Amino acid sequence: DADVTQTPRNRITKTGKRIMLECSQTKGHDRMYWYRQDPGLGLRLIYYSFDVKDINKGEISDGYSVSRQAQAKFSLSLESAIPNQTALYFCATSPPGPQETQYFGPGTRLLVL
Amino acid sequence: AQKITQTQPGMFVQEKEAVTLDCTYDTSDPSYGLFWYKQPSSGEMIFLIYQGSYDQQNATEGRYSLNFQKARKSANLVISASQLGDSAMYFCAMREAYTGGFKTIFGAGTRLFVKA
């Protein structure tokens, strides 16, 4: 089984709809992240959490919110989806320490019409 | 200013040959880490190799090595004996400290095509 899972893997939604992307991990890592990937822009950090009680904004948090329900679960919500939120979304985890190698989920392809 | 620069949008290499993917970075933090990730067409992100800023030796992982030139702020990935399965996007990333912890910044990526 995959260590980091994301649901759904693909989603089509309409402008203005609320949508939640979910991430679960079995790696036992405290640190979890949400990124979005757009062509030509690499990955950009949306939100991150270093433990259940810690939530921090990344560089592009506007229009998104997150919930850390447990050590193993980190959800990303788009309260009112807009077309420019169409992207590939990745959840990642990392162990504590200075290296902080990130382990990614398989990604969620989101299309907002 | 770009923190991570990958100047090669696309690269071609013949199977079994070596290829170098370029990455330059910009940071004033003396303690930082450099990563390379591979993204095949299936979309997942796969960690390849890590280099710490204080590491004296260049990192190696199997056919991957990181040519770390600290004074030039470059961290090029070298793939030896390319295989068809190496065709993918490759991302260079840097972890640096900031207020409250660390963050990882990714470059725009280089798409590698391995020719048979």
Per-residue pLDDT tens for B46-92?
A: 999 999 999 989 999 999 999 999 999 999 999 999 999 999 999 99
Nearest to B47 among A35, A43, A101 (CB): A101
Contact check, Cβ <8 Å, A44/B106: yes
Instruction: Give the pLDDT of residue B40.
Output: 94
- Partners of residue B46 in chain A, C-beta under 8 Å: 104
A107 near B CB under 8 A:
yes
Q: Residue B19 belongs to what H/E stretch?
A: strand B19-21
Token output for A29: 């890592």
Residue A113 contacts residue A14 (beta carbons within 8 Å): yes
* Strand duo A42-51 + A31-38: pairing: antiparallel
**Assign residue B62 a region: left if phi > 0, alpha if psi is -120 to 50, beta otherwise?**
left
Q: What is the pLDDT of residues B64-74, one digit of tens each?
A: 999 999 999 99
Residue from A1, A17, A7 nearest A74 by CA: A7
Instruction: Give the pLDDT of residue A55.
Output: 93
Chain B contact residues (CB < 8 Å to A): 4, 31, 33, 35, 37, 43-47, 50, 52, 91, 93, 95, 100-104, 106-109
Listed in sequence order, the residues at least 6 apart from A21 whose beta carbon sits closer than 8 Å to its beta carbon are A6, A7, A8, A11, A34, A75, A76, A77, A78, A89, A91, A108, A110
Q: How many helices (H) and strands (E) does chain A have?
A: 0, 11
- Partners of residue B49 in chain A, C-beta under 8 Å: none
Chain A nearest-CA residue for B53: A99
- Partners of residue B45 in chain A, C-beta under 8 Å: 43, 90, 92, 102, 104, 107
Instruction: Give the pLDDT of residue B112.
Output: 97
Q: What is the pLDDT of residues B10-52, one digit of tens each?
A: 999 999 999 999 999 999 888 899 999 999 998 899 999 999 9
* Strand duo B74-79 + B19-21: pairing: antiparallel
Instruction: Give the pLDDT of residue B102.
Output: 73
**Assign residue B43 a region: left if phi > 0, alpha if psi is -120 to 50, beta otherwise?**
left
